[in-house]
Amino acid sequence: MKSHRCSGGYAAIPMVTGLALLMTFGLAMLFQQNLMTRDQSAKTQLRMDYHQREDALMRALVAILPAKTAACMSADHVAADEYSWATIFREAVEIAGVSKRLPSELAAELGVDRMRAGDVGDTEDAVVQSWITSLTGEAGRVTPGTTDYADVFAQPAFAGRVPPLLGIAGALQQADADRPIVGSQKQYTVQAPGLLADVAAYPHFNLIPYPNIRFGYAAPGEPFVAKRNWWAFSVNYGGPRQPMVRHYVLSLFEVPSQMPIEAATFAQIGRHQNGAAWNAANVRIEGSVYAEAMAVQDTFGASRLAGRSGIQLNGPIDVGGVQVEENFDALGVREMMQAEQQSDALPVALSANSGRLAFMPIQPGREFLLRPAAVANAWEGYVSGGWRCRVSVEAISMVSLADQTPTALRVRFQNGTGGTSEVVLRRGVNWPTLFEPGGADVPFQTELMDNSRSCLNFQPSLFEPWLLAHGAANVGINNSVFFGVDASLDPVTVGTLDDPPAADDLCVIIRRGGDLTNFTHGLSLVTPMRVYVGDDLNDMPLAAPPEGSGLDGTEPFYPPLSIFAAELRIGTTAVNRLVEHHGQIGTLTKGAGTSWSPLDIKLGSDDAVHAENISADLKPLRSPAELPPVHQMNWLVVIEEIPQD
C-alpha cells in the first residue's frame, strides 16, 4: 500500500508564531500601559501631596506673620529669636504639619512598611524647615523687598515679576532679612511701575493696584492707598531627593482706612438703631463697605461688601450690578457665582473664605484717643492716634471740680527748627477772653453750652497766625491737634475724663471751620472728649489738587479732615437741622458683640437727627493726597507665588 506524506503542519508555524508574537506584544503594551498609569497616578498623588502641604504652609505663614511683626515693633525691632524669620518658618512648619508622614503602624497594616517611601514629609521638622530659604539659599532668612537687594530681583527669574522696592536705612535692610521690619522707616524712593502717585510727594503711602485676591476690600487691580512691605523666599518641597523649588512673595500691606464705611464691629447698613430706614433718596455709597460683620438692608450703590466674620443680607440685593441672594456663602452657591462672573473675586466676600490672606484692622479702641506722656516702643506709637498729633492742647487748671471750665491751657507744638515748644495760657495773664483786647485772635476760648456744659472753643481759621506768632511751624506741619486734660498739675480742680463722657466733663466745639484751605496737608483732631461741630466745616475746596496726587484737576479737592472723638454731635442746640456729609465714616468701636449704625447722628441736645434730614455722599479715597494726618490702619497679609517660565 502506498503512503502519502502531509506537509500542512509546517505551513501553520509562521501563523502561530505571528499570533504568539502579537499576543506577547499586546501583553507587553498592556503591561507598559499599566506601568504608565501607575506612574501617572503616583505623580498625581505626589502633586496633590505637594499642593496640600504647600497650601497648609502658606496659610500658616499668613496667620503667624501679623503677631510676629507686632512683637518685633513692640521690641523696637531689636533682634530676638521670638519673632525671627527662622522662628516664623519653624512655627509654620509645625502648624502646617508638612513633615508628617504615614504612621508606621498604618504602613505595616497596609503592607508598605518595607517599601521605599515617596512621601515628601518623610523627615524631621528641622530638615523641612531647612528647605525654606532666602532667594539666595540662606536657611531661616528671607530676601527683603528693599533697595539693598535690587541686584537679586534684577535676575531674569524675578525681574518684572515682583512689587516695587522700598527704601530703608542700611542697617535695617539687613535686619529685615532676619526679622520682619514694618514702620515709617520704610518708604518708596523710586518711581517704579505700579506706583501711581509721585513718590517724592507721597513716599510713605502711595496709590498702588489692589492684589488679585478674593477678599473685596477693593476690586483686583483697582488703585488703593497703601504701602506694600514684602519679603521673598524659596521652598524646596521635595528636599534633595525629589527637588521642587518654588518662589514666593509674602506681603504685609499697610492700608489706611479709606473706604466709605469701615468698622471693626457689627455694622447695620441701611437702618438706624431706632429701626428707621436710611433715606434712599439722599444716601449714596461708592466703592466698598467693610465691617467685622454686617447686616445689609440695601447697598445704596456700593459695589462691594467685605466682612471678616459674617454678612447678613435682607433678601436679594444688587451689589455692583450682581444680584446676590441671602445664601451667597452656601456651598455651591459661591462657586456658581464665581463661574457666572468668571472670577474668584466676588462682590460679596468674607476674609475667612479667602485662602492665603488675612485682613486685620489695627484697632486699639479708646486707647487710640489718648496721648500718653511717652510711648515705650514703636508699636505703642503706631496704634495711638493721640500720640501721632503734632500739637497737644491740654487743660491744666479749671474753675473747680464742679465747673470744668479751663483757666489754664498747655499748648505744645513743633517749632520752626523741628523741636517742640510749649506755651501756657492763663486767664488774667496771657489768655484774654473773647471780650478782652486780643481775645479775638486766640484760637482757643471757653464757652458754656446751654448754660451748663463747659466747652473749649477751637477756631481753625485762627490757628496758623497764632502758631506763627509763637515761633511755631505752619499748619503744613502742625496739622494734627490732640485735646485733653492733665490733672497732675492741679488735681484739686481738674477732673479725669469719663468713658463715655459725663455731663460735667469738658467738651470741644469747632467753630469757624468752613474754610480750611490753609491746611493744605489736611487737619486731624483727636480727643477722648465729646466734640460738637458748631458751624459748617470744610466746605471750601482748594484751587487745585496737590501736584503728583494723580487726581483729576477738574474735580473739587477739599483738604483732608479727620475727627476722632469719644462722641460727635452736630450743632449745639436742639434744632433738628439738615446734615450733609461727604467722605468716609468709621468707628473706634471694636468687637462683633457691639452694634453700630454709621448714619446715627445726634444733635447738641443728644436728640437724633431725623433720617429724612441726613444726606450722605460716601466714597473712598482716590489718592494719598486725600489721606488726613491721623487715620486708622489695617493690615492685609497676602502670599503669592512668583510666576516662572
Q: Tell me: the pLDDT tens digits for 607-616?
A: 888 899 999 9
pLDDT reported for residue 8 = 52
Mean pLDDT in residue range 241-259: 92
pLDDT reported for residue 23 = 80
Residues 244 and 273 in one domain: no
Residues 178 and 59 in one domain: yes
Residue 25 lies in a domain: no
Would you list the DSSP string of 54-84? HHHHHHHHHHHHHHHHHHHHHTTT---GGGS
Last residue of a domain, one of 349, 377, 412: 349
pLDDT of 20 over the 80 cut: no
Cα 537 from chain centroid (whole Å): 28
Q: How far, in Å, are 56, 62, 123 from residue 130 at the CA level? A: 17, 19, 11
User: Which three cell numbers, joined as nine digits, stand for 240?
Assistant: 534633595
Last residue of a domain, one of 316, 349, 382: 349
pLDDT reported for residue 55 = 85
Residues 94 and 189 in one domain: yes
Task: Yes or no: say if 239 and 155 are a contact pair by the CB < 8 Å rule.
Answer: no
> pLDDT tens digits, residue range 216-236?
899 889 999 999 999 999 998
> pLDDT tens digits, residue range 441-459?
999 999 998 778 899 999 9
Residues 66 and 197 in one domain: yes
Residues 84 and 184 in one domain: yes
Residue 552 lies in a domain: yes
- % the chain with pLDDT above 90: 66
Mean pLDDT in residue range 67-87: 96
Confidence of residue 576 (pLDDT cuts 50, 70, 90): confident
Q: Angle at which helices 85-96 and 8-74 pack, to 10 degrees?
A: 130
pLDDT of 116 over the 60 cut: no
Residue 167 lies in a domain: yes
- Average pLDDT, rounded, for the chain: 88
pLDDT of 43 over the 70 cut: no
Q: Pick 480 or 593 by higher pLDDT.
A: 480
Measured CA to CA, the distance from residue 224 to residue 209 in angstroms comes to: 6
Residue 602 lies in a domain: no
Residues 222 and 167 in one domain: yes
Confidence of residue 401 (pLDDT cuts 50, 70, 90): very high
pLDDT reported for residue 574 = 76
Confidence of residue 347 (pLDDT cuts 50, 70, 90): confident
Q: Among 3-12, 185-194, 258-267, 371-380, whose mean pLDDT is lowest?
A: 3-12
Measured CA to CA, the distance from residue 384 to residue 366 in angstroms comes to: 9
pTM beyond 0.85: yes
Residue 83 lies in a domain: yes
Residue 287 lies in a domain: yes
Residues 218 and 282 in one domain: no
pLDDT reported for residue 104 = 62
Residue 601 lies in a domain: no
Last residue of a domain, one of 531, 559, 587: 559
The total of structural domains in the chain comes to 3
Residues 242 and 342 in one domain: no
Residues 246 and 315 in one domain: no
Measured CA to CA, the distance from residue 449 to residue 458 in angstroms comes to: 14
Residues 62 and 181 in one domain: yes
> pLDDT tens digits, residue range 478-509?
999 999 999 999 999 999 999 999 989 999 99
Domain that holds residue 269: 261-349
User: Which three cell numbers, joined as nine digits, stand for 505?
Assistant: 466733663
Residues 66 and 209 in one domain: yes
First to last CA, the chain: 87
Q: Which residues pair with 144 in a beta bridge?
A: 231
pLDDT of 584 over the 60 cut: yes
Single out the residue of 234, 226, 210 nearest to residue 287, CA to CA: 210
Mean pLDDT in residue range 83-93: 95
pLDDT of 41 over the 60 cut: no
Residues 132 and 248 in one domain: yes
DSSP 8-state code for residue 611: G
pLDDT reported for residue 222 = 93
Task: Yes or no: say if 295 and 392 are a contact pair by the CB < 8 Å rule.
Answer: no
Residue 278 lies in a domain: yes
